[in-house]
Structure 1
C-alpha cells in the first residue's frame, strides 16, 4: 500500500526530525521563535551571541541555522563564514533589519539559503 503525502506534510515530517540553531541577541524575538517553532522542529537551540552559537554548533547536531546579522561582539555574517569554512551544506537563513546592498551581497556570497527582513512576518518563516 502506497501512502501519498502532500508536500506540506512531507516537509513537516522532515522538520520534526531536525535541530534548529537560532541566533539573535534580542531575547524577545528568540522567545517568539521558540514558541512558534517548538512544535515544528525536534529541538530548538537558542544563542544570544555568536560565541554561544559557536559553542552550541560545535557540541550539538545542527541541521538548520537562522541568524541575525548585528549582534554584540562578532556579527552573524562572520559566524556564517566560519560555518561555511567547514560545512557548505547546512541550510542557513539570515534574519535581519538590514536591507542595504553591503549586507545582501556579503550574505549572497556566503551561499545562504534565505534572507528574511525584520520586523518579522511569521507567515514568511
Structure 2
C-alpha cells in the first residue's frame, strides 16, 4: 500500500511540475498597433494600440474591437461601415510591418511590436 501511495504522489508531482514548466509563447502579452485607412477618401478610420496574447489571430482582434464583415471564405469586406466595392475595384488590403501579407486575417497571428495597416483602396 505504501508503494502505491509513493507512486501516486510521484505521478501527481510529475504532472504538476510538467504543467508549471509548460508555458508557451502564446501566454505572453504583446503590443501591436493597428491603423485603418480609406485611401479612396484619404480618411483615417482608426489608429489604435492593443495589448493581446502572442499568437492571437488578426481576425479575432478585429472582431473584438471593430464592426467588421467577413465572407464565409474569410475575406474582409467591411470595417466600421467602410465597405469594399468589387464593381469599382475597391478592396481591403493589409500590411504587417510595412510588407504585404499573403495570408488571410484568420491565419495571421500577431507578434510583439507588429504594426498592421488595413487600407481600403483601388486595385488595378
Shorter-chain TM-score range: under 0.3
TM-score normalised by structure 2 residue count: 0.26
TM-score normalised by structure 1 residue count: 0.26
Question: Greater CA radius of gyration, 1 or 2?
Answer: 2
Which gives a bigger RCO, structure 1 or 2 (Cα 8 Å, sep 6+)? 2
Higher helix share: 1
Higher strand share: 2
